[in-house]
Amino acid sequence: MQEIKLNNFEVYKRNEWEDIQIKLFKISTRILALDQYQTVG
């Protein structure tokens, strides 16, 4: 039973980590776009 709980927690944490990575990616692309916009304009 402990093994199952641990495994579920691992999946939960992995999903949480993936969500954070997606948010970081979106933020960094916005920063990059803004940086390019400021360089051009």
Q: What is the pLDDT of residue 7?
A: 85
CA distance 32 to 2: 45
Q: What is the pLDDT of residue 18?
A: 98
CA distance 22 to 16: 10
pTM of the predicted protein model: 0.72
CA distance 41 to 35: 10
Q: Which residues of the chain have pLDDT under 70?
A: 1
